[in-house]
Amino acid sequence: MRRTRLARLLGRLLPGTVRADLFEPALHDLYVDAARTGRGTALATLGLFLESWRLAPAEVFAMFVHDVRHALRLLVREPGFTIAAVLTLALGVGANAAVFAVVNAALLRPLPYPDAERILLLQHRDRRTGITKTFVAAGDFADLRARQRSFESLAGFGFGPSTIFTSDEPFNVGVLQATPDLFDVLHVGVPIGRALTPADAAEGAAPVVVLGDEVWREHFASDPSVVGRSIKMGPAMRQVVGVAAPGFRFPANTRTDVIVPMRMPAQAPAQRKNGWTFAVGRLAPGVSMAHALDDLTTISRQMEREHPDQNEGSEYFALTVRDWLVGDTKRALVLLLAAVSLVLLIACVNVANLLVARAVGRRQETAIRVALGAGRSRLVAQWLTESLVLAVVSGAAGVLIARWAIPLLVRLAPAASNLPDPDGIGVDRAVLAFTAGLTLLTTFVFGLAPALGIRMDRAAGALVNPGRVTAGHAARRAASALVVIETALAIVLLTGAGLVLRSFSHLLAVDPGFRAERVLTFDVQLPAERYRQEPARAAFYTRAFDALTHLEGVEAAGTAVVMPLTGNNWTVGFERADRPVPAGQRPPDVGWQAASGGYFTTLQIPLRAGRLFDATDRPGGPPVVIISEAIRDRFYPGEDPVGRKIRGGDGNATIVGVVGNIRRAALTDEPRADLYFPSEMSPQAQASFVVRTSGDPLQSVAAVRAALRAIEPQIVVREVTTLEAIARESMQITRLALSLLAVFAVAALALAAIGIYGVMAHSVRQRTREIGMRVALGATASDILWLVMRHGIAVAGLGAAVGLAAGVAAARSLSALLYATSPGDPLTLAAATAVLLAVALLACYIPARRATRVDPVQTLAAQ
Amino acid sequence: MSTKRIPRLTHLQFLVLGLLRGGEQPGRAIREAIAAHGVKRSAPAFYQLMARLERDRLVDGWYEQVTAGDQAVTERRYRLRPSGAKLWAETRDFYSTLARTGSAKLRKGWSDA
């Protein structure tokens, strides 16, 4: 009796197992009954179909459990295959999970404020110089706050260090100075006591402080009665008014030990740029970021029109707090995640190759299953279940690898990457979910190729002639295609690593314009009450420089406000006194620095003309400045600037010297025009020291500290490091990218080599009879060598060609990490190709050599 | 298999394997036979039971063409595999042993109480 069209249609709607095991035999019984009784089958067929669907979930699950058991038995039975595949995949999954953990912490994990993505940080861009700053001028802040309609409110803030003096040892704290509305902007409350109020920031208000939870616990024994008590912080006594919520940090990557009120003018002062602040705002309900940006642009234009002499070219825009925190690291992290996924893809391709080879070996088993009635979907399901089991075992091993790799990766990440809570980065739920997703994905990536390669029509051949189970053309082509893919992926990674390596070598070769080696740097804070007067501060620095330069092993010492290579790009207007800019126009900006004469000698910034700052430059004396060569070239072409006057805030200053250009903000920065003001004329209670030593600078720390304490016992010395460490840190993101890309590229190369070797070795094994025949017919060893190598070279060559094209395209995304290197750098591309082809040739040569040793007599006799 | 361990065959599986001890049978006939023991199963549910026995390699199943009325039709037939016969025998031995020794122990336990 023929099956009805309805039965065929309904059968197709059932899962393969349910159709074959439940529906089909029941349908046959129905036909037997129908043949005997002559009854119609349509209604009963529908009933069988519905009943089969009812039973389907249990059946599919039972089949899945059966397949899992079968897959586990296979893994145990083939330990060589299992170890190779699990290790390959586990390394790939582990590396991905580790990089994802860092990406998650930096880019995905929510910041500790409600709706943090609606909190924006204002940025200033100078259209004339292209320099972007995170600061808002005090006058602009007042106008922006008054005119904006996009934010619930705008708060100003700043942060820095200070010292709290208690009955115990004084301790350093991270201070957040903020306008009281910052708490409203962040939508955070104060669980103990109260938050800051506008009255706290009013003129003449008593100094108050909100303690951070950590400081409250560590130094005030979690005592709630601390609220109302006065503590000495820096020079002033402050009354504690509250304790912040546990875990409160702003910005999220810095310690917020205490919060003090910041006073900002309600009306814009005449000198609008006299004072700067960070500014943060929360988008008003229903307002989009684009709308807020438009609003800021409109207000910027208004201020430019109203105050062209101070605001020409000034433009305000905003970033989300996260984008501000993560900065350039975001691109590097995303890039590394992409790179490490390529490694996993290559690992998957390799395992797919192993599975294809294994599938060929299992053709007889497949044939038996087909003969016993297994359908294609049933076989594909079984293969995919085997792949899933392999992926799950590898995923579990990958999580263990990630647990080990994450701390390593966090240590490698630059401090400037602003990872929030780096100690808290580990294998958490997000990482586990990512790994689980990745495991499922890999199952399909490497499991689908062999599963789709199942040829039902050829299965019978394996039964008829089990002794000659060889890979068909399709299987060989599939294996070759997989090798082309992994070779191409390896080239992409090699090119990326090569480009970053070239950039790094260029960065190392950059002349910053100063000598960073053997320079100790640290910050000092003088007790304010004893150094309220400028002469007292000037006297301290004179004695300090004298004491330090007389220390054994110290060659020079100086101070500066802006430490080089820390990204600082403060600017100041430059105006020749003899050529003032027309009224209503803003003078062009140049870099700003306040430094002592010793700063130049310590950093060995060459003096080109005139003199450095010295003891004759005293507070109250005639104002003097030093300019860099770039200012001379730009503003005094063909003239001698020494002795000329420039316009300053309080009168004209005389140029007393010209020094060499330096790369102040970063090594990747072009040397800029810099204007130096003498620290000697306005010594501050806080300064950054630079001390050149004859040996290891860190060996001198104790002596330097003792010398300064001998002058001022209450001096606070912090942030002790070396200029070389700062320079290294400034290159850390490139170094991180280089280290990881290099590791990924080597892994990719090794995997590709293993892949090529595997395919070639398998091919030689499969073609032993053919090779034996050729040798018997007179083929020489070199003929055989070429026969095998030709295939490998063709596959690797094709992969290299595809990879080069993809590599050049992918390298464009690297641009942010590249320095003085083009994404299409021919030398790098050529080197990557050469390395890959050399490795590919070696991988082909080993099986090719084996092929030349085939004994025709033995081979033919064996057939 | 030790006769001390609880057998893994269910009563229904034991019944089906027992029916097949007499020789191969069509699925339809087995279904009718178990119905006579009060076990009513829909055709798909019955074949689900048989598929699991096949998967556990206790029975073999195949299609065979037969004539019903005047038409050629196919039906699924089953035969007991040696492993199935062995498991059935072990299960039977378990219950026999239990019936012999277990009842004595039970009686002893009751009298102690």
Check residue A451 and give its pLDDT: 67
Q: pLDDT for A662-677, tens place per residue?
A: 988 888 777 888 999 9
CA–CA distances in Å: residue A742 to residues A486, A506, A734: 17, 17, 12
Residue A320 lies in a domain: no
Residue of A nearest to B29 (CA): A29
Residue B3 lies in a domain: no
Check residue A414 and give its pLDDT: 63
Residue A318 lies in a domain: no
Count chain A–chain B contacts defined by CB atoms under 8 A. Answer: 72
Residue of A nearest to B77 (CA): A25
Residue A666 lies in a domain: yes
* Comparison of pLDDT for A677 and A764, the residue scoring more: A677
Cβ-contact A90, A390 below 8 angstroms: no
What is the enclosing helix (H) or strand (E) of A87?
helix A79-103
Residues A217 and A342 in one domain: no
Best probe of the B interface among A14, A17, A19, A22, by most B CBs < 10 A, is A22
Residue B25 lies in a domain: yes
Residues A270 and A381 in one domain: no
The confidence band for B1, taking pLDDT boundaries of 50, 70 and 90, is: very low
Check residue A852 and give its pLDDT: 84
pTM for this model (two decimals) = 0.67
Residues A54 and A135 in one domain: no
Residues A167 and A231 in one domain: yes
Task: Determine, for residues B48 and A30 on separate chains, whether the beta-carbon distance falls below 8 Å.
Answer: no
- Of the partner residues B28, B44, B55, the one whose CB lies closest to the CB of residue A32: B28
Mean pLDDT, residues A289-316: 92
Task: Determine, for residues A36 and B44 on separate chains, whether the beta-carbon distance falls below 8 Å.
Answer: no
Check residue A12 and give its pLDDT: 85
Omega into A251 within 30° of 0, i.e. cis?
Answer: yes
Q: Which residues contact A152 (CB under 8 A, 6 or more apart)?
A: A184, A185, A281, A282, A283, A284, A285
Q: Residue A19 has what DSSP assignment?
A: I
Q: Is A671 exposed, middle or buried (0-12, 13-18, 19+ CB in 10 A)?
A: middle
- How far apart CA A560 and CA A603 sit, in angstroms, is 11
Check residue B113 and give its pLDDT: 39
Q: Which domain holds residue A138?
A: 128-312
From A435, A381, A437, select the one nearest A406 (Cα to Cα). A435
CA–CA distances in Å: residue A320 to residues A107, A118, A120, A288, A863: 12, 7, 4, 12, 72
Residues A582 and A474 in one domain: no
Residue of A nearest to B44 (CA): A22
From B72, B56, B71, B63, select the one nearest B28 (Cα to Cα). B63
Residues A558 and A480 in one domain: no
**Cβ-Cβ contacts under 8 Å, B76 against chain A:** 24-25, 28-29
Residue A72 lies in a domain: no
**Cβ-Cβ contacts under 8 Å, B70 against chain A:** 35
Residues A549 and A690 in one domain: yes
Best probe of the B interface among A29, A36, A59, A63, by most B CBs < 10 A, is A29
**Cβ-Cβ contacts under 8 Å, A36 against chain B:** 68-69
Cβ-contact A626, A656 below 8 angstroms: yes
Q: pLDDT for B22-79, tens place per residue?
A: 999 999 999 999 999 999 899 999 999 999 999 899 999 999 988 887 888 899 999 9
Task: Determine, for residues A26 and B73 on separate chains, whether the beta-carbon distance falls below 8 Å.
Answer: no
Task: Determine, for residues B43 and A30 on separate chains, whether the beta-carbon distance falls below 8 Å.
Answer: yes
Task: Determine, for residues A26 and B44 on separate chains, whether the beta-carbon distance falls below 8 Å.
Answer: yes
The percent of residues above 90 in pLDDT, for chain A, comes to 33
Measured in degrees and rounded to the nearest 5, phi and psi for residue A27 equal -65, -40
Q: Residue A576 has what DSSP assignment?
A: B
Task: Determine, for residues B47 and A36 on separate chains, whether the beta-carbon distance falls below 8 Å.
Answer: no
Residues A245 and A283 in one domain: yes
Q: pLDDT for A703-745, tens place per residue?
A: 999 999 999 988 888 889 999 988 888 777 777 777 778 888 8
Mean pLDDT, residues A407-421: 69
Residues A283 and A136 in one domain: yes
Give the gap in angstroms from C-alpha B13 to the nearest C-alpha of chain A: 16
Residue of B nearest to A2 (CA): B73
How many structural domains are present in chain B? 1
Residue A719 lies in a domain: no
Q: Which domain holds residue B108?
A: 11-112
Residues A456 and A476 in one domain: no
Residue of B nearest to A58 (CA): B48
From A841, A434, A93, select the one nearest A85 (Cα to Cα). A93
Residue B5 lies in a domain: no
Best probe of the B interface among A14, A28, A378, A382, by most B CBs < 10 A, is A28
Residue B96 lies in a domain: yes
**Cβ-Cβ contacts under 8 Å, A62 against chain B:** 52, 55
- Of the partner residues A36, A48, A63, the one whose CB lies closest to the CB of residue B44: A48
Residue A321 lies in a domain: no
- How far apart CA A249 and CA A255 sit, in angstroms, is 6
Encoding tokens for residue A675? 């204007």
Mean pLDDT, residues A417-423: 63
Check residue A466 and give its pLDDT: 47
DSSP class per residue in A665-701: S-TTSPP--EEEEEGGGS--SEEEEEEEESS-GGGGH
| HEC readout, A122-181 | EEEEECCCCCEECCEEHHHHHHHHHHCCCEEEEEEEEEEEEEEECCCCCEEEEEEEECCC
Task: Determine, for residues B31 and A30 on separate chains, whether the beta-carbon distance falls below 8 Å.
Answer: no
* Comparison of pLDDT for A594 and A106, the residue scoring more: A594
- How far apart CA A675 and CA A196 sit, in angstroms, is 39
Residue of A nearest to B43 (CA): A26
Residue B32 lies in a domain: yes
Residues A60 and A144 in one domain: no
Residue A707 lies in a domain: yes
How many structural domains are present in chain A? 5
Its ipTM equals 0.86
On whether any CB of chain B is under 8 Å from the CB of A48, the answer is yes
Residues A103 and A20 in one domain: no
- How far apart CA A393 and CA A82 sit, in angstroms, is 10
- Of the partner residues B44, B52, B71, the one whose CB lies closest to the CB of residue A23: B44
CATH of the domain at B56: 1.10.10.10
Residues of B with CB under 8 A from a CB of A: 27-28, 31, 42-48, 50-52, 55, 61, 63, 66, 68-76
Give the gap in angstroms from C-alpha A360 to the nearest C-alpha of chain B: 24
What is the enclosing helix (H) or strand (E) of A258?
strand A258-261
Strand A258-261 relative to strand A171-178, pairing: parallel
Residue B24 lies in a domain: yes
Q: pLDDT for B86-109, tens place per residue?
A: 999 999 998 888 888 866 665 665
Residue A517 lies in a domain: no
Cβ-contact A99, A409 below 8 angstroms: yes
Encoding tokens for residue A321? 């707090």
Encoding tokens for residue A265? 């003018």
Q: pLDDT for A536-593, tens place per residue?
A: 999 999 999 999 999 999 999 999 998 888 877 788 889 999 888 888 788 888 889 9
